Structure 1
């Protein structure tokens, strides 16, 4: 009877995730909350704990990020990123993904990539490089970047799970595994991706379009296409304040002695530190750059962040309700499988990312299982980061669609069979290389 109940409840959880995925956006949160209702009122399970700490971090980080965007900070960061890419146009398949990764880490969102897409496409095409190569890997690199950002929603979920007893695995412990793993993964992936598809000079489809006059000669001295961004002093100052806030969070995570003490005389946890620092950063941006507060709810970062928070709330509450009711069974059964084959944990994160296109949801859903199974925290963090590439396995993400639309050469394709798009191979390669590197760095430095 117990097994029947477990399977029935698991089907409810999976069914709500699938239905939420079909609805997308805030539908993920709605179906998660409905799943909680079924488990509580039908199966009489005790409600789990809503992810309050993670939600509060997401809300305050989204607020500060939106203040920066409204002040022009993201436009300023994009202009800097474009200059970095332009310095090495022949190495764009490596440089562009690394720059996209770096700025996504700093901003805590992959949305910063959108204005860079036409820059990457133009530089690649004018240098005779197939645009799909740097475009596809740049898109996928922003996925793993969120496992390396102190201010991403996914990191908020991860920190609130691991920065407590008995694990006490803090932000800096995660970053020292995920950042080098992601960089190694991007470098190795660029070698593979740089060999995908034919060069422009050897592609008969592109050459036919050039001959017909539908495409400009890549070597013509035509005016380069650039993202329409406006760089201002206020934007530069806003970005500087925000990035200083990110740096302050890293320093507090690295040096516990700088933190105030709690009632027990111990340094306070990183959760309130992140919240406090981001509140201060947002206030300083308001005072220094003076963005229009009324514009904040209209910012793309704000909208995306609120959707992520709602999805995180519903689905994380659902999974916590289910996992709390079956802790012993999962730790002994599923946990035993994960312990014997840790790659199953990475596969779980990857698949949830594919289904929900939400790294924070995957974190709150699967990481507790890995923790219950006793996976070493360093190994867990490394595999967690690499599996984030999974959100791009299917060609349904906004940045994938935008990259295909910006590629005037037509080399970046969304495909028709779900597996024949330009992002499929880069996703698998970056996931595999980052997971492997993460496992190595996790064993070397992790807990």
Structure 2
């Protein structure tokens, strides 16, 4: 029966991921309905905390986008990338990482991909090299950013939820991911043929228009002027990030209330939950950005990030609720199967997290599904934090938007999906970077935590 139920779980995730958009969410609800009405499973708790965090954080990022703040960040990143084109294989991914780490979203990457591709091609550096590891870097930035839903969910109610958890995640995962990205860069520095020897590129260069556009000294696209108040919105956003980090580092600075039953807002001891702190700080920052820059609230709802928020909320709602119901119903069997292995070799749990992350296409959903299981298996907090980068396995199946965008922006044709699907341009740098980040996380956790 367990195998049948697990097959339904995986089947719903696979079908939903192929549907794109809210497909993962609605197919999750189909699976949940089967579990409840056919197998008689007791429904688990829906991931309300993660949904609230996604709505708050992404709405704030959308406000930053509407105010022109994201355009300003992209402009800064472009300057950094163009400053040293010969070393773009290293410059581009680290630029992407730090900007996505600050913003808490990988959406900055879409504006930078054509710049990375163009700069590499003009220097006759195979664009596949910086593009592939830059995509992986944008994903790794999510696990460690105080402004990402996955990190907030991991640090918040139901998983770590201890004072200073957010800071512990940041001080382990950020340096671990930086080490992982560096080795990821080394893994692609000689990847593929040089453009001067690549038959696909040489064939494209026979087209005079293509050759002329590639050798042109003009920058990619026409720079649009920044909105008035763009820099102000970045300052306000920065203050919000700082306040969240300080709240995580010094919870004693926050108000406390009478002890009672734990809720989404308060812990049992009366302290504020991080989901409440993040929601209040980020949405207050949204209001201040709109007021300071005279940006219409209606304009915020029209930007791409805001619409992506709705997709993320529905997806997490369906797939995590289905998964938590399956896990709770089969907890005894799952724990009995995994406890001895994970207790003896904690790193093996990273494999399970990685596999589910590859199927779910959502770091937040994978975090909310798998990390509570890790806690119930007796994994220590440092071990769970070290394993956290494994939720970034959404590059394995080449259907994630960042991968497809990188392939489409590479005009040379060097970035591609192989004939066996999984032998694509992102597999090697992804496995190297995430595997290294996890290993480094265990070492850093032993020293720092």
TM-score by length of 1: 0.92
Deviation at 1:216, TM superposition (A): 2.8
Q: How many residues align?
A: 439
Is the CA contact (8 Å cut-off) linking 1:140 and 1:427 kept in structure 2?
yes
Counterpart-to-counterpart distance in 2, 1:59 and 1:227: 33
Is the CA contact (8 Å cut-off) linking 2:81 and 2:88 kept in structure 1?
yes
Counterpart-to-counterpart distance in 2, 1:340 and 1:16: 32
Is the CA contact (8 Å cut-off) linking 2:129 and 2:191 kept in structure 1?
yes
Q: Is the aligned partner of 1:17 residue 2:20?
A: no
Q: Is the aligned partner of 1:335 residue 2:339?
A: yes
Number of the residue aligned with 2:304: 300
Is the CA contact (8 Å cut-off) linking 2:240 and 2:281 kept in structure 1?
yes
Query: More displaced, 225-234 or 212-221?
Result: 212-221
| SS of aligned partner of 1:298 | coil
| SS of aligned partner of 1:216 | helix
Counterpart-to-counterpart distance in 2, 1:371 and 1:432: 21
Number of the residue aligned with 1:91: 87
Is the CA contact (8 Å cut-off) linking 1:70 and 1:299 kept in structure 2?
yes
Q: Deviations 1:391-441 (Å, cap 9, x if unpaired)?
A: 112221222222222222222223332133221211222122112112221
| SS of aligned partner of 2:397 | coil
Counterpart-to-counterpart distance in 2, 1:361 and 1:196: 32
Residue 66 of structure 1 is aligned with which of 53, 62, 67?
62
The 1:262–1:226 alpha-carbon spacing in structure 2 relative to 1, beyond 3 Å, is farther
Is the CA contact (8 Å cut-off) linking 1:50 and 1:313 kept in structure 2?
yes
Instruction: Please list, as runs of the form range in 1=range in 2, the aligned pairs for 1:245-256 lying within 5 A after superposition.
Output: 245-256=240-251
Deviation at 1:249, TM superposition (A): 0.5
Number of the residue aligned with 1:149: 145
Instruction: Please list, as runs of the form range in 1=range in 2, the aligned pairs for 1:154-303 lying within 5 A after superposition.
Output: 154-160=150-156, 161-164=158-161, 170-210=165-205, 213=208, 215-216=210-211, 220=215, 222-226=217-221, 228-264=223-259, 267-303=271-307
Residue 426 of structure 1 is aligned with which of 423, 429, 444?
429
Instruction: Please list, as runs of the form range in 1=range in 2, the aligned pairs for 1:372-387 lying within 5 A after superposition.
Output: 372-385=376-389, 387=390
Instruction: Please list, as runs of the form range in 1=range in 2, the aligned pairs for 1:96-135 lying within 5 A after superposition.
Output: 96-135=92-131
Counterpart-to-counterpart distance in 1, 2:289 and 2:146: 19
Counterpart-to-counterpart distance in 1, 2:25 and 2:297: 27
Instruction: Please list, as runs of the form range in 1=range in 2, the aligned pairs for 1:362-441 lying within 5 A after superposition.
Output: 362-385=366-389, 387-441=390-444
| SS of aligned partner of 1:25 | coil
Number of the residue aligned with 1:315: 319
Counterpart-to-counterpart distance in 1, 2:377 and 2:330: 13
Is the CA contact (8 Å cut-off) linking 1:149 and 1:155 kept in structure 2?
yes
Number of the residue aligned with 1:50: 46
The 1:214–1:366 alpha-carbon spacing in structure 2 relative to 1, beyond 3 Å, is same
The 1:388–1:321 alpha-carbon spacing in structure 2 relative to 1, beyond 3 Å, is closer
| SS of aligned partner of 2:147 | coil
- In structure 2, stretches of 5+ residues that fail to align are 260-268
The 1:83–1:356 alpha-carbon spacing in structure 2 relative to 1, beyond 3 Å, is same
Number of the residue aligned with 1:37: 33
| SS of aligned partner of 2:205 | helix
Deviation at 1:121, TM superposition (A): 1.4
Counterpart-to-counterpart distance in 2, 1:69 and 1:401: 22
Counterpart-to-counterpart distance in 1, 2:135 and 2:165: 28
Query: More displaced, 40-49 or 219-228?
Result: 219-228
- In structure 1, stretches of 5+ residues that fail to align are none
